[in-house]
Structure 1
Amino acid sequence: MRITVNTDACVGAGQCALVAGGLFDQDDDGIVILLEEHPGDADLPSAQRAASLCPARAITVNPR
């Protein structure tokens, strides 16, 4: 799996960090920080949930 984030699109809602704290964090301005670009398969559900909850659609999850 590969996760990418568009920090320019991020609005700082923080949903990603709330539902997948092992994959995402936020900087002091609330902008997404990707902690793990290539997490294991076990993290796929939480990564997809974070992407689906992102109001700015700033997170992309490619399962392969």
Structure 2
Amino acid sequence: MNIQVDADKCIASGACAQVCPEVFDLDDEGVIVVLDAAPPAELRAKVEEAAAACPAAVIEVHDQSRV
């Protein structure tokens, strides 16, 4: 799994960090920060939930083979 984000479109809701703090955080301005762009497979469900929770839809989750 590989994660890509469009931080320029982030609206700083913080939903990603609330759902999956192992992978996402917010910087001092409240903008998304990816702590682990290739997290372990056991976090996939939480990462996908965080992506779905993002109101700005800035998180993309890809299989490793697509990277």
TM over 0.5: yes
Segments of structure 1 that go 5 or more residues without pairing to the other structure are: none
Match of 1:6 in 2: 6
What's the CA shift string for 1:1-52, capped at 9, x where partnerless? 0001110010000000001000000001100000001111101000000000
Match of 2:25 in 1: 25
Equivalenced residue count is: 64
Q: Greater Rg, structure 1 or structure 2?
A: 2
- Following TM superposition, where does structure 1 have runs of at least 4 consecutive aligned residues deviating by more than 6 angstroms? none
Segments of structure 2 that go 5 or more residues without pairing to the other structure are: none
Q: Look up the equivalent residue of 1:36 and give its one-letter code.
A: D
| Structural mapping, 1:1-64, within 5 Å | 1-64=1-64
Residue identity (%): 36
8 A Cα contact 1:44 1:63, kept in partner: no
TM-score by length of 2: 0.92
